Chain A
Amino acid sequence: MRVRYGKATAAFAIVSALSLAGCSSGESTSATQDTNSCKPSSGPVELSFTTWVPGMDKVVDLWNKDHPDIKVKVQTGPNGNSGTYQNFFNQLQAGNAPDLGQIEYDALPNFRVQDGLENLAACEGVADAKDKFVDWTWGQVTFGEDKSVYAIPQDSGPMAMFYRADLFKEAGIKVPTTWDEYAAAAEQIKARGSYITNFPRSDVNWFAGNVWQAGGQWFSNANDKWEVNLTGKESEKVANYWQKLLDKGQVSTLPSFSDEWNASFNKGQQWTWVSAVWGASTLASGAPDTAGKWAVAPMPQWEAGGKAAGNWGGSSTAVLKGSKHPHEASKFALWLNTDPEALALANKLGGLYPAAKSAKDLDAFSGGVDYFGGQKIYDVFAEASSNVNPNFTWGPTMTKTYTDVSDGFGKATGGSGTLLDALSNGQKKTIEALKSQSIPVKE
């Protein structure tokens, strides 16, 4: 699930900063490990599950039909950063959080640091499920710790490049395979009055996906201290790269997912979109006139012959702290994210691209897609998924970091300041935010 945020979240960011500061004080960041707590409950149980994936109630109906003793009740809300996370924190504080909640990977560390997650490592079948999921997604829910599983991976957003096969062919421009070729193509496309792509100034997690591909690491957690590194050499490389394209006016700076943005794709003013797997449906609905003209290729590489891919989005099913039935909850979460029937339905109704390795065997992902000229695009994404660096860690205050960096990106695209300035400002503000929540930071 992709993270969206905007003006509305600024308000939440303020509220959350206040309430988080309130509930984090006095709590240790190293969560207590009670590995014996995952025992089956006696008698039938009812679990509550909060999600915002459309159609999830239908998926859960499948489960309820076969499991009369573990009934799951679905609650829906807005997208995570649009309010549901804040609701989770409020509920945790009030002691009435749902048993299960959908949480995006980049928000998981925040819940972990606020001690909002149950450790499922001791629950039956959870540790053994590791091999069923794409490696990097498992890294996201364990935080690389032993005997820790804080959620079950749900969906992922491996990145690749959507491109207008027809326009590239017509213009005689080679479809770029490296970022150098991409920049060269950008110049040629600009000369023809179009853009190679749009720089998404407010989708900081898109930018992070690029840094991820370049091998960068924004956060790391060693010896219970967080290290923040938004301005490492990989981030600098990515920032300078896009800065150059921006300076030359070779990329547009429309607000992503807006009507103008859709229209520019629909009118053929954008030739590529380096995006996640879920972008396929975004394109198909936003640019219907260009159906059949698109194709998908792996992300451009920093080194010729490389295979690295980034990731944009993706979420997990977590068992929230205080659940009385972690055993049953984890059983449901495993079923939800590995059962072929459940995965197929979640994809059909909610557009999820599963984190389970078995995704490539599902009918939904095995055939050609008309919008992309019949290309089997999910093969490209499955390949990308296996090439995502498994060791990328998100920080505990991502919403705040996104807001700060995107403010800077907005200035940079407006011509004052640079992308790198935005990152170093984001670095400074993130460290301040961590400190204000009494989260230990290494400087």
Chain B
Amino acid sequence: MSRGAAMLIMGVFTLYFLTPIWWLLVSSSKTGGDITGTAPLWFTADSFPTFFANLGNLFTYSDGVFGRWLANSALYAGLGALVGTVIAAMCGYALAKYEFRGREAIFNVVLSGVLVPATALALPLFLIFSQVKLTNTLWAVFLPSLVSPFGVYLARIYAAASVPTELLEAARLDGSSEARTFFTVSTRLMAPALVTIFLFQFVAIWNNFFLPLIMLRDQALFPVTLGLYAWNSQISQIPELRVLVIVGALVSILPLIATFLGLQRFWSSGLGAGSVK
């Protein structure tokens, strides 16, 4: 395929994927009436002040519950992904670097976890959490978020490829404990993989919707996805929520974009590493 044709296809798809975001941005700067009444992909004359008015409404509506949702999402996704990454890294590292009975069996079980959709597990999780009276608490969303079978898989593959066994032996000879070796030596070598795992987990938890929907009743605990969904389901009663849902959706993707751009450097270097040996 010629270079021109390739660029054309790329351009078309870029446009295809960016149009909804563009629409979101444009619509965020309109009043409820203008959304239906004006050109969907272009701004109105007073877009700028309207956008900030909408933002203001978003963060003050219903005692500022939206800010609370954002903070919840940041907590669930940020801390959840961080702890989840550490667990996945330790697990994957252990599977890659230690020989013990049942190693492959454990790995296969973890791997099969990748195949089970999170949605299918939500209901059983609800029944289990009900037994221990943890539903409608932040633990109900936080604890399941710590589990990342895909992260374990990635960590194992990466640790096997990038952490030389000789180095570990040298560390042992120097008297370093296994834990210390892991945290000071191995994690640095695995850094690109860890960033990738973190990003995957962060996005997965940020976008997770079904689990909070089933677990949470208290509006103050909602993540931003569930909160927006709840608002959206009430548009026919409270039509002014339409604007807030649109602006809220725009605001809610900003942390994702920021995280991606911020970690891109580490992430893209990790993708290529180990591909050519």
Chains A and B bind each other: yes
Query: What residues make up the interface of A, taking CB atoms closer than 8 Å to B?
Result: 1-2, 4, 11, 15, 19, 48, 50, 52-54, 75-79, 82-83, 86-87, 90-91, 93-96, 98, 257, 259-260, 262-263, 266, 278, 281-282, 284-289, 350-351
Are B239 and A98 interface neighbours, CB within 8 A? no
Contacts of A260 in B (CB 8 A): 36
Contacts of A284 in B (CB 8 A): 239
Main secondary structure, interface of B, reads helix
Q: Complex: how many Å from CA A350 to CA B62? A: 12
| Between-chain CB contacts (< 8 Å), 6 pairs | A79-B234, A87-B217, A257-B236, A285-B32, A288-B32, A288-B33
Q: Complex: how many Å from CA A2 to CA B213? A: 20
**Min CB gap B83→A, angstroms:** 27
Contact A266 B237, CB 8 Å, known A52-B230, A78-B229? no
Q: Complex: how many Å from CA A48 to CA B135? A: 14
Are A90 and B214 interface neighbours, CB within 8 A? yes
Interface code B37-60, partner A: CB below 8 Å = 1, 0 otherwise?
Answer: 100100000000000000000000
Contacts of A262 in B (CB 8 A): 36
Contacts of A50 in B (CB 8 A): 217
Contact A54 B37, CB 8 Å, known A15-B123, A77-B217, A285-B32? no
Contacts of A2 in B (CB 8 A): 236-237
Contact A54 B234, CB 8 Å, known A95-B130, A285-B32, A286-B239? yes
Contact A79 B233, CB 8 Å, known A54-B238, A288-B32? yes
Contacts of A76 in B (CB 8 A): 217, 219, 230
Is B235 on the interface with A (CB-CB < 8 A)?
yes
Contacts of B234 in A (CB 8 A): 52, 54, 78-79
Q: Complex: how many Å from CA A76 to CA B62? A: 12
**Min CB gap A164→B, angstroms:** 17
Q: Complex: how many Å from CA A287 to CA B123? A: 41
B window 213-243: CB within 8 A of A: 213-214, 217-219, 226, 229-230, 233-242
Are B123 and A19 interface neighbours, CB within 8 A? yes
Are A54 and B237 interface neighbours, CB within 8 A? yes
**Min CB gap B40→A, angstroms:** 8
Q: Which residue of A lies closest to B241 (CB)?
A: A54
Which of A11, A19, A257, A262 has the most B CB atoms < 10 Å from its CB?
A: A262
Are B229 and A82 interface neighbours, CB within 8 A? yes
Contacts of B214 in A (CB 8 A): 83, 86-87, 90
Are B237 and A257 interface neighbours, CB within 8 A? no
Q: Complex: how many Å from CA A350 to CA B130? A: 31
Contact A78 B233, CB 8 Å, known A90-B123, A259-B36, A288-B33? yes
